Structure formats: C-alpha cells, structure tokens
Amino acid sequence: MREILSPAELVAAADGDAKVLWAGQGLKAGNRAWYAGDAVAVVAPELSRHDRIVVSGPLDDVVPLVRDVMGIVGPAYRPFGDETLIRGVVERVPELSLRATFGWMEIDEAPVETVTARWFADDAGVAELLEEASPTSYAWPGQAGVSRWAGIEDSEPESSADRAETGGTQRGRLLSVAADAWSAPEVGFIAGVATLPAARGRGLSRQVCAFVTAELVKRHGRVGLMVDGRNETAIGLYRKLGYRYHPVGAAHL
C-alpha cells in the first residue's frame, strides 16, 4: 500500500471514477488516499455528513486495502463505492455489514434549460424552507462544506414599505433551493434540493437543478449527487437533465 500525495496523482489513480475524485476534495487537510495494485481508497472525513472511505478497483485488491486503511483511520469510517463492489467487500470482511444502498448520479455536460433560478447572496430563508420541505436534508445553511445556495423565489413584487426598509433588496418567499456543497476541484456536488409542498408540480426543482448543474459543470467539468434509489420522481428529474445513474452502497462495522 502506498499513499497518494498529490491531486494529480489521485486523478491518475482514480481512472475516471468521479466518486473517488469527489472524496479526495483536492487532498485538503484531513483527506488522504492510498493505492495498492489497481485499487484506490480515499479517506474523507465529514463528507456529506459521514466519515467515508471511498473505494474503487478490482475486489481482490480492494479488500486488503480496505482492511489496511481502516486500521489507520479507525472504525468510524464507512467504506463506500459501487454497490456490487461494496457487497463483495462485506462478504469477505466479516466485521463489516451493508449499511445502505442508494444512487450516485453524475453528468459532464450542462443541461440546456430555460431557468429563472439564481445564486443567492446569503442563505436567508433557506433553513425555514428545508424545515418544511426536506427536514432530513444533509445540506443546511452554515454547515461545513456547504458553499452557496441557489433557488427560485416568489415573484410577487415587494410592497412600497418593504422597498423603503430594505433599499429594494427584499427577497420574496423561497419556493425551491439547491446547494453547491462538498464540491471537489474535479467534481462539483449538488445537495439540499427541496421545494415547498405548495409549489410542487411546477417544474421548479428541475429549473434550480439545471441552473446549479450548468454552473458547476462550467467550474468543475463534472457534477455528482446522491439520491434515494427508491425515489423514482427525483431520479427521473435528474435523468431528464442528462444525469447517469450508478447504484452505490455503504458498509460499516
């Protein structure tokens, strides 16, 4: 097992696996990576709210690498990767059990959509929307790794009193939002997608996700997100934007 010491070396070892590059986070403080044979493992603390060991490569090489890396970082880290690979690791490492299966979706071309979404200068109102629309969201305002929020607000014009009080900057009620969160230099990441229940069915989430996706593709070249594998509505929305679905899994001690 050898440690990967530079982002360029990680790009080479990842062999195009966006999940590995996302986990690397540019090998900032706390993120480390190793390879052995044709396998690579990236340690990512507090990545999308969990301590993860993101793995890729042939099972015969991944299993001993996972054992070695867990010996370094401890039992709190969850092996994460393609579902078939993680199931194989669990079968060969009796201490591990399958924690969850879900979907990783990615895209490398900006969607061609007409949108009214925009980046917000601050996150005012986002927490209130999430509390109503998506209280189990992983991304929240002020959370480490959550960089900025975009969305669509109610287009109802401000009152004259509001304009006088705020200098014309009063924001309408937020209807739909999404965050640029835990993005890596090579892979942007979307989280916190939510729309108020009363505003659903109007294509607002599609507009917000199309806007954020296009912005992150321009900056990072590729964009990923995670989705509940049973949420056919969300998966269908992302597929229409051009995202590709990959089943993934996570294990734990």
For residue 111, what pLDDT is reported? 94
* pLDDT tens, residue by residue, 177-215: 999 999 999 999 999 999 999 999 999 999 999 999 999
pLDDT band at 231 (very low <50, low <70, confident <90, very high): very high
Gyration radius of the chain over CA positions? 20
| DSSP 3-state of 160 | helix
* pLDDT over 70 percentage in the chain: 94
For residues 88 and 111, give the distance between their C-alpha atoms in angstroms, rounded to a whole number: 35
Q: Residue 176: pLDDT above 50? A: yes
For residue 170, what pLDDT is reported? 57
For residue 155, what pLDDT is reported? 76
Residue spans of alpha helices (H) in the chain? 7-14, 18-24, 59-73, 83-92, 126-133, 160-166, 204-220, 232-241
For residues 233 and 223, give the distance between their C-alpha atoms in angstroms, rounded to a whole number: 20
For residue 172, what pLDDT is reported? 84
Residue type present at position 236: G
* pLDDT tens, residue by residue, 18-56: 999 999 999 998 999 999 999 999 999 999 999 999 999
For residues 240 and 206, give the distance between their C-alpha atoms in angstroms, rounded to a whole number: 9
Strands 118-119 and 244-252: unpaired
For residues 223 and 183, give the distance between their C-alpha atoms in angstroms, rounded to a whole number: 8
Structural domains of the chain in order of their starting residue, each with its CATH number: 2-103 (no CATH), 118-221 (3.40.630)
Contact 149, 177 (CB under 8 A): yes
For residue 115, what pLDDT is reported? 87
- Mean pLDDT taken over the chain: 93
Contact 213, 241 (CB under 8 A): yes
The count of other CB atoms within 10 Å of the CB of residue 161 is 9
* Mean pLDDT value across residues 130-157: 93
* pLDDT over 90 percentage in the chain: 91
Of 82-91, 138-147, 170-179, 192-201, the one with minimum mean pLDDT is 170-179
For residues 37 and 80, give the distance between their C-alpha atoms in angstroms, rounded to a whole number: 19
For residues 225 and 178, give the distance between their C-alpha atoms in angstroms, rounded to a whole number: 11
Question: Which phi and psi (to 5°) does residue 80 adopt?
Answer: -140, 135
Lookup: tokens for 30:
């706390």
* Mean pLDDT value across residues 230-245: 97
Q: Residue 61: pLDDT above 70? A: yes
- Who contacts 161 (Cβ-Cβ below 8 Å, separation ≥6)? none
